[in-house]
Structure 1
Amino acid sequence: MSEAALQQLGVTADEYVNFVSQRIQGRRLLYACLTLLLYDYLLTLRREIVDVWQREPRFSIAKVLFGLNRYYPILVYIIRVWIFSQTVFTNFVCERMIPFTGWSATVNFALVEIVLMLRVWALYGKSRKVGILFIALFIGALSSSFALRKLHPNGMYFAPMPPESLTQCTRSTPEEYFWLYLIGIFVETTIFALLVTKARAYSLRTSGTPLITALVQHGTVYYAVVLATLVLATASTVPAVLYQPIADANLIVAVTSVACNRLILSLRGLYFNRGALGSTAITTGPSTTRKDDIPLGNLPRPLSFGRGRAPRPHHQHQLSTFTETDIEGGISISRVGKHTS
């Protein structure tokens, strides 16, 4: 670019070269995120059809939430790829399209958190206290995110913003992203801590049931992946070389969407694939079990030594079962009768 053009933009040659390089890296990362979403979609499409859309009821809140988390990010990334493939941004792009795709990170994260909160709330037996806690946590996090989007905080220890003469549009500041990511880390950690606490209590009570074990394992993988991405995104607000590419690519949206979809499909697949559970239970007396309830594993049996068999203690246990309730977005706990071991 000529010296006259650089002077007109108000930047040096090095600033221009750095901006163009970071924009190219951001575009590549953006393409990678869209590829990840589409690739994961193709890999899990059959599972989605079988375990989500072909299951009763035909319409439920859980299916709506899943569909939004599944397809909304793909739409946003297609629009974002179209935006950043242009050399010159029009007023419509700057005033409408970029803000729309920028808000998508907050909207998508809110959808994911609703799904996860409903699952953990169900695990707590729809506890009123846990429900109030989640409502307060969700409203607080969402209102804080909206406030940050409007306030555009500024600081001096974050990546310098490229001039608007280069970006062509007013963009979110690194400080704004920093606090948004911290909010995400806090919410994710709170949900995961509640999940592990309750799941551990049920696991100790029922000697490690398949669905509880799967919920903790898959939930841990989900949390580890999302937390690592959030930490990376938070750290990227300091060095300029990372901030612009990750901000352009909206990295957290793709990762949280894929991770949440995988978690939902895995648990639903485990629930409906009853043979994989390999669990049987004998109930005595009247039972409140619904026909679609799945016992969570056998109660432990006494070991036998030598020729004789150890006497079987006749004490009673209460066996937990999982029941698929789509309204809750996942699984709920129900109690069934008394079981003798």
Structure 2
Amino acid sequence: MVFRRSAVPETASAAALVVYDYLLNFGREVTLIWLSPWTYTKVLYLVVRYLPFLAFVIFIRIQLYLGVTVASCVWMYPVVVWATTVSTFTAEVVMMIRTWAVWGRDKRVAAFFLTLCCLYIGLATAGNVKFNRSVVFAEPPYPGYRGCLVVEASKSLTNDYSMLVVMEFFVCVLTAWSAVRSSKTGTTNRLSAIIHRDGILFYLYLLVGSVANVIFFTAPVIPLELHAAFVPICLALYTNLTSRVVLNIREVAREGRNKSAMETQLHDYRDDEGVQEPTVIPLSLRSRQKEFQ
């Protein structure tokens, strides 16, 4: 298969969307992330937020750079493939932790999500290795040609994308189930409402994007270059929506400080003087405290 269509417009649009969302939420990030203690949630957030910038720089280089050599394409393609995979998987982990939180840190939910993560890691590793080995590049067909010319690539990433659909489907279902339970028991509050709203709406968007990705990648009537154009868009959705989930949760928890004597380690931050203060959450979420440490 030969790539004949440039994906530069889609990549540039996705990169602009990531930059715009980053600037839009920069103030909240400084307050809620940068000034908070180092926890694994903070590390996951930084990976989701900043690794895509590296991916987009290389995306644009392999699509727009004038005079790029085949040797450069050979090392740039694997970097962008792995950066996209790691960023996407990290976003999935963040959302799974959040879903595990609203289920009261249920061990069965944790075991189920851990199984899905292991399956994805295995499929993604095998698929990425096979895909990177299968990509064949050609020399620029004419002077002034921009980017890398891909003349052949396997569809070994199909299982990766299918597994993403499965993971996102179950996250949506479990989040919606938790929202129904909370509504029936009368334990719904602003924090839980934010968690359920973001989880359901954001993951519906991601689920639709992942399904489209699988279709673009597997349908024989759709050229593979259309899939290559859609990947940056999905990456932008993952980094923007997942980052907003973390920021929204921490912001709501921070607003509720000093309104209760209860403390939580789920959301940490520092006030304007740099002194760490505990954040509070409602009693109904007390059992969900530690999953974002």
The alignment's TM-score, normalised by the length of structure 2, stands at: 0.79
Q: CA deviation at 1:142?
A: 1.4
Matched residues in 1 for 2:241 and 2:124: separation? 22
Q: How does 1:190-339 map to 2 (within 5 A)?
A: 190-237=170-217, 238=219, 243-248=224-229, 250-251=231-232, 252-274=234-256, 289-290=262-263, 292-295=279-282, 319-322=283-286, 328-329=291-292
How far does the alpha carbon of each residue in 1:70-126 deviate from its partner, in whole angstroms, 9 at most, with x for none?
011012101221222124442432221111101222111110111111112222222
Q: CA deviation at 1:171?
A: 5.6
Identity %: 21
Give the counterpart letter for 2:167 in structure 1.
V
Q: CA deviation at 1:324?
A: 8.2
Q: Which residue of 2 aligns with 1:339?
A: none
Q: Which residue of 2 aligns with 1:141?
A: 120
Distance 1:146 1:170, change over 3 A: farther
Q: Which residue of 2 aligns with 1:119?
A: 98
Q: How does 1:100-111 map to 2 (within 5 A)?
A: 100-111=79-90
Matched residues in 1 for 2:51 and 2:136: separation? 29
Q: Which residue of 1 aligns with 2:272?
A: none
Match 1:52 to one of 33, 37, 58: 33
Match 1:37 to one of 18, 24, 28: 18
Distance 1:240 1:29, change over 3 A: farther
- SS at structure 1 position matched to 2:90: helix
- What is the root-mean-square deviation in Å for CA atoms of aligned residues? 3.0
Q: CA deviation at 1:274?
A: 2.0
Give the counterpart letter for 1:122 in structure 2.
A
Match 1:69 to one of 44, 48, 57: 48
Moved more, 90-99 or 234-243: 234-243
Q: CA deviation at 1:152?
A: 4.5
The answer as to whether partners of 1:233 and 1:246 remain within 8 angstroms in 2 is yes
For structure 2, the residue ranges without an aligned partner over 5 or more in a row are 142-147, 264-277
Runs of 4 or more consecutive aligned structure 1 residues displaced over 6 Å after TM superposition: none
Q: CA deviation at 1:30?
A: 0.7
For structure 1, the residue ranges without an aligned partner over 5 or more in a row are 1-10, 154-160, 282-286, 296-318, 331-341
Matched residues in 2 for 1:92 and 1:248: separation? 22
Matched residues in 2 for 1:249 and 1:87: separation? 22
Distance 1:34 1:322, change over 3 A: farther
Distance 1:241 1:144, change over 3 A: closer
Distance 1:204 1:152, change over 3 A: same
- SS at structure 2 position matched to 1:263: helix
How far does the alpha carbon of each residue in 1:111-152 deviate from its partner, in whole angstroms, 9 at most, with x for none?
011111111222222222222211111011111121122345
The alignment's TM-score, normalised by the length of structure 1, stands at: 0.69
Q: CA deviation at 1:205?
A: 1.5
Matched pairs, number: 267
- SS at structure 2 position matched to 1:264: helix
Q: CA deviation at 1:215?
A: 1.4
Distance 1:45 1:136, change over 3 A: same
- SS at structure 1 position matched to 2:65: coil
